[in-house]
Amino acid sequence: MAVAGLPTVENFQAPGYTVGIVTATWNERICDQLHARAVATAHDAGARVVEARVMGALELPVVVQKLSDTCDAVVALGCVIRGGTPHFDYVCDSVTQGLTRLALDTRTPIGNGVLTCNDDQQAVDRAGFEGSAEDKGAEAVIAALHTAKVLEKLPR
């Protein structure tokens, strides 16, 4: 896990900002936890939350694109666990490229909280459960809202 170098953002606040949180439902237990942590973190920061759920990771980019029209930042959450075929690679690559392209095309910060794991335990370790080493749902919200605040300060 890439915990080393993780920036610390204590008491992060983003009142007046709106964040869209789009979460896949595939790998339900993991995704529900990512979603809950993301929503709680956004609320703790004082941000308004718009929530949406989709079936799988491949459906995330189109809903992220729609929310980028009205939100200051958007977060995509999901969990792709490696199986026995190359499908994992295609899904992970497609989602990552789609979200990156959307961030650049829309100039809207997109937090990528899509876990790409070799097994279920790796997902649990990253999903913000009690005892998890990481909290990717919360981290994705903070990263997206922090970037929105940075962009607001830059000259047009």
pLDDT (tens digit, 9 = 90+) per residue, 60-109? Answer: 999 999 999 999 999 999 999 999 889 999 999 999 999 999 999 999 99
Q: Which residues are catalytic?
A: 87
Whether residue 132 has pLDDT greater than 90: yes
Is 56 assigned a ligand-binding role in the annotation? no
Is 28 assigned a ligand-binding role in the annotation? no
Domains, the chain, in order of start with CATH, read 18-55+86-153 (3.40.50.960)
Alpha carbons 16 and 119: distance in angstroms, whole number: 38
Task: Supply the pTM of this predicted model.
Answer: 0.94
